[in-house]
Amino acid sequence: MASFIFVLLNGYNTISMSKTFESAWINEIKKRYEKRPIFQQPALYRVAVLPEWEEKRVAIENLVSCFAEEQQHEIIQHIRNPDLFLTTYNELIAGDIIKAYGHTLEYERPLGEKTPDWRVHTTEGGKDLIVEVVTIMPPKDIQAEIRAWNELRYRIQNIEHYFHLYMSARPTKAIIGKDIKAIVRFVQNWLSTFDLNTPPDNEELIYKDNDLIITFKLINRKTSHKRSVGVAGPEFTQWVNSDLLRNAISKKLTKYREAKEAHLPLINAVFPSFESGLSIDSCLDVLLGNEQISVATGQVSRSRKGMILPQIQQGQIFLKNTRLSAILFVEQTNPQTIKMIHNPYAQDPVNPRIFQGIEHFTITAKDEIKYIMDWVSF
């Protein structure tokens, strides 16, 4: 794909006609997914069709409209592909975030034989940057687990009763391959033993199927009419896997060796999915080592396993991953949360003032022995 300078001087363009979400394509995607249960509908379908996503559709149209006509077709095809939708959307959002600082961008401008997502021409001294977007999703086995629990919640919510339910389970991964409809029938038969005049008192139901154990607990709600049963749980603390982030960043650094050779600062814009459970603290652990607290002194330190920390071997200090300049960490919360973690050992560091108005984890003091880093706003 040829590069394109991505600039908006006066805010978004006004969209008079939808290109990405045109009616013919909307009708096609409705035919494909509309009759499927919610847990089998891809995120793309919900974004494209549901009224509550209208604002998001307008934002996507505005982002796509910023590209040259010859590029729009390929970008639209990527957005319409359920397997590419999220990564393409995050690339557009990253460009929009950077553009808001007044910088000029080029999308997929070649760097050697590679095409990083964004080439940024900054307003600070004309220094160019490379920004590569990293979308973090859970592994496929965890995604299958999520889908199975979503199916169970969806089917239970089709039951009407006077109560809500809370689920706890162990192990949660054991849900994969189980007969979801049988679990729902089991729950429905149990609920039928209660009515409005005989409220339960901390009633629980335990379902067992080989290695799967689910505990259902009734939750009272103030109603005199049967309504859809709301279902919460279970909790999935084991899903948080920082190695997902470590491996994704490592792949990007290996891929873009040319950035170091060209002395272009390389920023990885990290977009963790909600299901990944990854946070800004996870990112700090990956880069700088897991946080450790001394019980005796209360002092906080970090392990030496961070991917940007120097390694000492036979008395010699070896720097590693110096091509990584910074991480732009984007949490798609409401409102959106954006923070930047700087690599103090980067060959080509990023000036924090290029991205003003957000928090930066950067060097605040240093001496001949060590750097001191902390969160600072510019």
Count of H-run helices and E-run strands, the chain: 10, 19
- The tokens of 114 are what? 């590679």
- pLDDT in the model for residue 4: 45
Tens-of-pLDDT digits for all 378 residues of the chain?
444 444 443 344 444 457 899 999 999 999 999 999 888 899 899 999 999 999 889 989 988 988 888 889 889 999 999 999 999 999 999 999 998 898 988 898 999 889 999 999 998 777 799 999 999 988 888 889 999 999 999 999 999 998 899 999 989 999 999 999 999 999 999 999 888 776 666 788 999 999 999 999 988 887 788 899 999 999 876 556 788 899 999 999 999 888 888 899 999 999 998 888 889 999 999 998 875 443 344 454 555 578 998 877 777 778 889 999 999 999 877 778 999 999 999 999 999 999 999 999 999 998 877 788 999 998
CA-wise closest residue to 283 among 308, 319, 259: 308
Please, how many CA atoms are within 13 Å of residue 222, restricted to the half-sphere of its CB?
0
Cβ atoms of 92 and 63 closer than 8 Å: yes
- pLDDT in the model for residue 344: 94
Q: What angle do CA 339, 344, 348 make, to 5 degrees?
A: 95
Cis peptide before 234 (omega within 30 of 0): yes
Cβ atoms of 279 and 320 closer than 8 Å: no
Task: Give the global pTM.
Answer: 0.81
The residue behind tokens 């990564």 is 87
- pLDDT in the model for residue 28: 94
Element (H, E) at 13: none
- pLDDT in the model for residue 118: 94
Cβ atoms of 134 and 148 closer than 8 Å: no
The neighbouring-strand residues paired with 209 are 212
Q: What angle do CA 161, 166, 170 make, to 5 degrees?
A: 135
- pLDDT in the model for residue 295: 39
- pLDDT in the model for residue 272: 92
- pLDDT in the model for residue 200: 66
The residue behind tokens 């319409």 is 80
CA-wise closest residue to 308 among 281, 280, 286: 286
- The tokens of 110 are what? 């070649």
3-state SS string over 77-134? HHHCCCCCHHHHHHHHHHHHHHHCCCCEEEECCCECCECCCEEEECCCCCCEEEEEEE
Q: What angle do CA 56, 60, 335 make, to 5 degrees?
A: 45
The neighbouring-strand residues paired with 312 are 317
**Position 189, amino acid:** N
The neighbouring-strand residues paired with 377 are 359
CA 324 – CA 344 distance, rounded (Å): 10
3-state SS string over 271-334? EECHHHCCCHHHHHHHHHCCEEECCCCCCEEECCCCCCCCEEECCEEECCCCCEEEEEEEECCC
CA-wise closest residue to 270 among 117, 65, 83: 117
CA distances from 51 to 22, 35, 58, 65 (A): 15, 17, 12, 22
